[in-house]
Amino acid sequence: MVYLPHWPIPSTLGKTQINYETVFERMSVVLEKLDNPHKKLPPVIHVSGTNGKGSTASLLAKIFICAGYKTHIYTSPHLHDCNERIILNGEKISNSMLFEIMEETRIAAAETSLTFMEGFTIGAFFAFAKTPADIIIIECGMGGRIDATNIIKKKLATVITPISFDHVEYLGNSIERIALEKAMIMRPETPLIVASQPKKAFEIIDILAKDQKIPTYYFDQNFAVMMDEESGEFNLEFFGKNQNFYLDNLAKPALEGEHQYINFATAIACILAIQDQYHNLFKIDNSHINQAISTVYWPSRIEKVANSLNKILKNELSEIWIDGAHNEAGAFSLARWLLAKKSTDLIPKKIFVIAGFSRGKCKKEFLEKFLNIAEEIIAVRVNGEPYPEKSEVILEIIKSIGAKNFAAEDLPEAIHHITDVNNFQPCRIVICGSLHLARDVSKY
């Protein structure tokens, strides 16, 4: 077994109460007109963090579904259509119901100026209140403290996935500040489950949790994951406040990448923390957890592409993958996965990275993770992105780190270029930098 490593923060903060009526004043006005649907929901698990929120939330939901519980999910952003954000009992919200709830929300907000996230979140609460369920999994959109989803006061549990630099223009340009924003989803007397964190982020989270007298479950303190490198199976140890759990020979995660072991361990630890705090509230056993681990699906997270783009390569051994990595930590995880795949290849495959970004989001720290791994980094414009960065701008940043480079206007041009320079030999291509690239991939 191999113990997975930690992911590579002011002394005191004082009391940290949030006046939700003030922070969410606009939302509160509209929710009141809709009879406060956010106060009529089944138990809520709230997930924040920088990386792994979606994967963790999706596994949490899948575990409850495998155990037979009706489960709603709210996530963002969407890849193809807004319906993806609101999942009712395992199904995307229908067009008719989405129109109905958003029209009622629009009427209620006639004299109130809402952001898209505020309005859509109100609509999601309205849909959840109308549709019976046993549990709701809610993913923060961005940050946590003033994220629209944080208007919910009472929660069953809160989860913080690994924190790193992202959205610094909104959340702050230090790990301490970002951690503070993310951690403010916690609630007094509500179990908090915390994934592996940078030291400074952990310190901030711990200060806030102790300040609020919150029961905490920390990675490497209360739970740990041990992976079998050969089989991909893993064990999980959990040390609770009232009871301990040992889960052996859990299935290899259905999602690719070593980082998913930490995401999955965090989701499972959340289930076990709920059992530790609220005995017999939900009846979930190892078989439900194992079934969820091996069948969960979360799109565009190191997902293999199977469409007409592959035909351009004209080599059955070549592969194309799409991943939502868009920050330094995501690039680090993706690079580790590429190295792990390369070490197990029976037939060597050259690695190529196609990178596209939102405007102003391309950072050399992201691209540097692929130096000495990728044969070439190809810049591409993200056509599915509302504010795409020009491929020429990305190209200049690639040049600045000393990587072999090329600029393409779209994905087919990028892949045609790879076939030319690689002479149709086996290769592994990874498309990353923006989740919106998934829209571009889906067109082919």
Q: What is the pLDDT of residues 303-323, one digit of tens each?
A: 999 999 999 998 999 999 999
Percent of the chain past pLDDT 90, that is, above it, reads 75
pTM: 0.89
Of the pLDDT bands very low, low, confident and very high (cuts 50, 70, 90), residue 6 is: very low
The answer to whether the beta carbons of residues 254 and 295 sit under 8 Å apart is yes
Q: Is the pLDDT of residue 29 over 60?
A: yes
Q: Is the pLDDT of residue 13 over 70?
A: no
Q: Give me the pLDDT at residue 144, please.
A: 81
Q: Give me the pLDDT at residue 8, please.
A: 34
Q: Is the pLDDT of residue 398 over 80?
A: yes
Q: Give me the pLDDT at residue 162, please.
A: 92
Q: Is the pLDDT of residue 171 over 60?
A: no
Which residues, at least 6 apart from 349, have a Cβ–Cβ distance to it below 8 Å? 317, 318, 319, 342, 426, 427, 428
Give the tens place of pLDDT for each residue, 271-288. 999 999 998 899 999 999
The answer to whether the beta carbons of residues 155 and 42 sit under 8 Å apart is no
Q: Give me the pLDDT at residue 361, please.
A: 87
* Mean of per-residue pLDDT scores for the chain: 90
Amino acid identity of residue 406, one-letter, is: F
Q: Is the pLDDT of residue 66 over 90?
A: yes
Q: Give me the pLDDT at residue 23, please.
A: 61
Q: Which of 67-71, 135-139, 308-312, 376-380 has the lowest mean pLDDT?
A: 308-312
The answer to whether the beta carbons of residues 143 and 169 sit under 8 Å apart is no
Nearest alpha-carbon partner for 368 in 332, 337, 336, 323: 332
Q: Is the pLDDT of residue 16 over 50?
A: no
Give the tens place of pLDDT for each residue, 221-236. 999 999 998 899 999 9
Q: How far apart are CA 410 and CA 309, in angstroms?
A: 11
Q: Give me the pLDDT at residue 4, please.
A: 37
- What are 82's two structure tokens? 């807004």
Q: Is the pLDDT of residue 169 over 90?
A: no
Average pLDDT over residues 328-339: 92
Of the pLDDT bands very low, low, confident and very high (cuts 50, 70, 90), residue 165 is: low
Q: Give me the pLDDT at residue 108, please.
A: 95
Q: Give me the pLDDT at residue 167, please.
A: 46
Measured from the Cβ of residue 328, the count of other Cβ atoms closer than 10 Å reads 19
Q: Is the pLDDT of residue 406 over 90?
A: yes
